[in-house]
Each structure stands twice: as C-alpha cells, then as structure tokens.
A and B are shown apart, each in its own frame.
Chain A
Amino acid sequence: MEAFVKHTGLVVPLNRTNVDTDQIVPKQFLKSVKRTGFGKHLFHNWRYNEDGSPNESFILNDPKYKDATILIAGENFGSGSSREHAPWALLDYGFKAIISPKFADIFYNNSLKNGLVLVEIDEAQVDKWMKEAEEGELRLTVDLETMTVSDDKGVSVSFEIPEYNRQNIMNGWDEIDLTLQLEDKIREYEQTRLY
C-alpha cells in the first residue's frame, strides 16, 4: 500500500448516517477478480441516473467538490458487508481519508489495511465541518504523525488510530511480510497445539 503521513485536501460532505457498503459499492460490481477500477462504481445508485448519466443532485457530482480527497459523513459509516471493494472504490476514486463520528468494525479494519485513513472524531465537530463544507470550501489536513485533523482556521482535533496500523500505513509496510518474520512462532504454536 501507498504510505500516508500527512495529507491536505478538499472535503466533500455526505450528510447521511448509516452509509452501508451496499451503497458504497453495489453488489453488481463485486464480480471483478481484480482490486482496481472500482472508483467509477463508487456510490453508483446515488451517483448515476437510470440511463447512466450523472445524478446532478448527488453531492459527488457537484463540480465544486470535483477535486475532493476527504469525505466527511454521518455515523456508522461502512456498515454491512465485509466487501473490501468498499475501501478499494473509495481509494480508487481518489479519497485519502474519511471522517465520521463512528465507523463499522470490518470496514474500519479493511480500510486501514489498504491505507485509507479513517478519522473518528466527536459528532459535534463532524457536524460543524460538515456545515462548513456544505456552505463554503473546506480544506482539512489529516496528520498521522501527530494524529490530528485540522482546518486552516486553527481548529485542530486529535483522533486515535491503533499504533500498529498507524506504523504500517506511515511506512507503507506489507503486513504479510511482517507476520512471516514470526514464522517460528507460528510453527511452534502449531506443534504444541497438535495441529
């Protein structure tokens, strides 16, 4: 995965709660045997009309947010299925970070494994930034080194991310390589547990 230390980008507000993975990538696009190319299917049912033309009323189609790299959304983002196609689609579209008061567990894990940084912060602050992003142009900086997200008006909020994932993402490490360094331990476990 691509290393991520610090990123500043335009924020697009998706003012909905419980955005589930069926919305992020509908099932008809899960049939690929590859990891790439899912960006064009992101939020398909909301983003496109029946005839395939862009649904102008969907926020991602607003030209104002064309270059957005950070998504801010309501709570319980990423609920539902375990499809990793959801973070793949968000990354492929160009998102580097998602901000929400709460993420669903499997989605959280899947995202961090792919270097999509999830920023879980207080709901009141999400609401404030959501409004600013809706009304004007909001740029935020997500910094994994300091574990903060900040705007250019001096508001800075801390967030937590498991240290293990933070190190992996900041260094762009391959997790399997790291685990295979512990192969002796795995073998020993298998031998003592009679597998």
Chain B
Amino acid sequence: MGKPKNIIEKIWEQKVVHREAGKPDLLYIDLHLIHEVTSPQAFEGLRIKGRKVRRPDLTFATMDHNVPTIDREKVNDPIAKEQMDTLKKNCEEFGITLFDMFHPNQGIVHVIGPQLGLTQPGKTIVCGDSHTSTHGAFGALAFGIGTSEVEHVFATQTIWQHKPKTLNVHIEGELGAGVTAKDLILAIIAEFGTDMGTGYVIEYTGDVIRNMTMEDRMTICNMSIEAGARAGLVSPDETTVEFLRGRPYAPKGEEFEKKAKEWLALASDEGATYDKVITFDASKVEPQVTWGTNPSQGAPISGRTPIIAESDDPEGVRLALEYMGLEENQPITSIEIDHVFIGSCTNSRLQDLIRAAEIVKGKKVKEGVRAIVVPGSTLVKMEAEKLGIDKIFKEAGFEWRHAGCSMCLGMNEDIVPPGGRCASTSNRNFEGRQGKDARTHLVSPEMAAAAAIEGRFVDVRNYEKTPILT
C-alpha cells in the first residue's frame, strides 16, 4: 500500500497527458460544456487559425445565460439573439451536440450535466463559467475557465494546469432542523471569507456532507468559487452512484456496475492528507441572509448588520451598507424585500422547488412583492409540473417561468430595477449583479419563499410548511 491519497490527487494523476519540469501539467479534459456567452470568441479563434474541435463527442452545448424565460419565441434583445444564433451556427459547423432553447434537455449548464448523467465521478469537466465547480458534487474535478482556455480545449481537448493545493473543509456536527446546505455554505464563507480557497481545490467531508442528497452537495460545491476555490468536490459514495443509475448518458448494465466500483474507489483514502484543513461546526448554523455586496457579508437570521467601527474592514462595510441601503446594527428580520428570485445553478433543482413550494402552499405573496420561479432546466420544469408545483406557486402569486440563468445575473430581461431589493437563491450579491443599483440578499429557497409571503426576512425554522409529496 502506498501513501493514502485524497480524491483530488487520484483524479489528477489519471489525467496527466504530459509533464515536464518548469511547466504546469497538461491535463486531459473528459467533458467540455459550453454556452452562448463565453464561446463565440473561442470558435472565432478556431476559424481564424483553421483549427477543428478535436473531440466534439466530448463537448456539449446549451443556451442558458440570456434565454427569455417568459416567451421562448420572443428574444427582444438583438444582441442576445445574435449570441444564440452564433452558438447554433458554431455547433453545426463544428459538429457539437446542442440543446437549444426548445430542446427538452435544455437548461442551466450546471443543472443539465448532472441530470443527463454526463457529469460522472473522476471526470475532468470544464466550462467557460465559474460555477462549473457544481459538478464537483459527483467527485469530478470541475472548474471554470476563460474563453482562451475554451478555445484551447476545443483545439486540443487538454488544458495546462498547475497542480492545485488541496483544502479539506471538514464539517462536524449536524445541521439543525430547517437549516439547509445553502445556509451551511453561506455560513462557511461568512466565517472564512471570499478568498479562503484561492489557489486550492476543496474537498468537503464530514457526516453532514455524507448524509446530504446530491442536490444539496451541488449547492455546496457550486459556491466553492464564492470561497475563492476554482473547484470543490465531494468523494463519491452510494448516493452518487444511485443518482447516476439510469441517467441517459450514464453507462448501462454491467458497464455501469463496473464503473460504479471505479467511482467508489476514487474516494479519498483513510488518512489522506491535505495542504490545509478547516473544521467547521454545522450545529451552530442558522438560516443565513447576506446583507452586503460580496457573499461573505452575511449574517444569521437572528443577527444584525455589522457595526461599522467594530468590523475588520470598516470602509468595505460602509460602502456595502451604503449600496444596500441598510443601516448598521439593523436586525436582519427588519429588512423588507420587493423581489424574490427562486432559481440559478445554486438552487433551481426539483428538490429546491419542492422545499420552497412547501413553504408557499396555501399562502399568498405579499402585496407589492414580485416573485418569480425559474426552474434550472426544462426537465426540472416538466417534473415540477407533473407534481403540481407550478400550480402551488402560481396560486400564491408567483410567476412560473421557462428554464435559464435569468435573474441570477440579469443578462436577459429578468432584472431587478434600480433600488429594488431581492431575496435571491442565487450565488452572487455583487453590486449591480441583478440589475443596475439592484440589491441582492442571498438565501436558501425556503428563506426566499417565506420572504415572498411576508415581504421581509423571517426565520423559516418557525414557519408553517405543508408537505406536497404524499
């Protein structure tokens, strides 16, 4: 037996195509996901040099960032339309499978990869999108890349990468009732900051993670980038295997069982070491709400906004509170919202919609609040409709939309107006993220749903829920 290895080291060693002194490793890429916003310049680069896509069979495209969510036939923004048309043309020219706006497999790229079973343990997965870290939930090494790298992967199916340092985020204790994966990752980032993971790949461990569904693990890994880490992953286990069984692009029959064994063997060995270890106690986590303009500026629902003079970064806190239109030392439960967005690659899967619907069922959205639900994929939308979830939301006064990235980044028409205040299940609360001068509070789907009903943030742990799956 050699030295125990963690999963990051194991995957890395399997993917090295070429190694030489003074250079990063040249890694093979198993799955390349693309979308309309960060790919056009890469295709253009190929054309200028007369190059081809080396492995169109390992490349999959969808439209998500600026698709309309109200009426698919109406793309009112001519530039957005040009990006989508360009993607379609490029995929035809280079022989790439595209799930366009009207295809049942369409959706947010990080929702459809897992849903289709394209995302599998041990794969190297890249996409020109920082939330590619989501796929790490399956024990894949998945990270966001820029457009130059997209072009490089097109042409060579490889990428030059320095071996990252490894960070183990070990979660102890149990999450309290009504506290979610979203609250956990927001609490970790609030404690350790948005650059805790810079230069690292994170592996999340601990019983809390083990007991989580794949959807919860995706929420955690998704926000690794908000902690500064390009990638975050969870070692595969039976939950991972069972999630993938029967998915369209997963192996079938005996081949699946064989693969499943290989996947499970990728899990970090007992006694594996990391460059850094952070331990975090889950039992102290409450439902979280961000009050500022980066994801680390958050507080528990029972908390208050900071006191400027007492904070570590008084100027940063002052600027953030000013932008957010909040007072210092203000109770989180006093913050009133006028928009609610349930969606994004962080929280738009069926489980998220079910949990939010349980809060909403039989109640009405507060007057003056505009609330929208944007499923993560067309399939999630169809499954939710089969369960009658769309009706629950619509009867309460929510808008029920087509799948896409939507109001997470407001590249389409789904934006929060200037001065508007949104309870959002997305991942970034940066200035202007959801619209110019819009204010974003990051929360879990349950917290967003309750905020829609009450018009302000309330502690979802004490809130009435109506089970909808009988």
Task: List chain A positions with a Cβ less than 8 A from chain B.
Answer: 16-18, 20, 22-23, 26-28, 30-35, 45, 75-76, 79-84, 87, 102, 104-106, 109-110, 113-114, 162-164, 175-176, 179-180, 182-183, 185-186, 189-190, 193, 195
Contacts and interface: CB of A to CB of B under 8 A. Distances in A.
B313 A176 contact: no
B interface: dominant SS = loop
B91 to A, nearest CB: 14
A31 B54 CA distance: 26
B271 interface: no
Interface string B78-107: 011011001000000000000000000000
A31 B79 contact: yes
A114 B148 contact: yes
B152 A176 contact: yes
A27 B160 contact: no
Given A84-B146, A105-B228, A189-B17, A18 B156 contact: no
Nearest to A76: B195
A4 B410 CA distance: 36
A176 B45 CA distance: 10
* Residue of B82, B158, B160 ringed by the most chain A CB atoms within 10 A: B160
Contacts of B410: 27
Interface stretch (B173-181, B206-214, B280-288, B431-439): B431-439
A164 B160 contact: yes
A104 to B, nearest CB: 6
Nearest to B409: A27
Given A186-B156, A189-B17, A31 B38 contact: no
A35 B43 CA distance: 11
A185 B18 contact: yes
B147 interface: yes
A108 to B, nearest CB: 9
Interface of B: 17-18, 22-24, 26, 28, 30, 37-38, 40-41, 44, 49, 51, 54-55, 58, 65-66, 77, 79-80, 82-83, 86, 128-130, 132, 143-149, 151-152, 155-158, 160, 162, 194-195, 198-199, 225, 228-230, 294, 313, 316, 319, 409-411, 428, 430-433, 436
A123 to B, nearest CB: 12
A98 B127 CA distance: 26
Nearest to B437: A45
Contacts of B86: 33
B411 A31 contact: yes
B158 A179 contact: yes
Given A82-B144, A106-B144, A185-B18, 4 more contacts: A33-B83, A75-B195, A105-B198, A106-B130
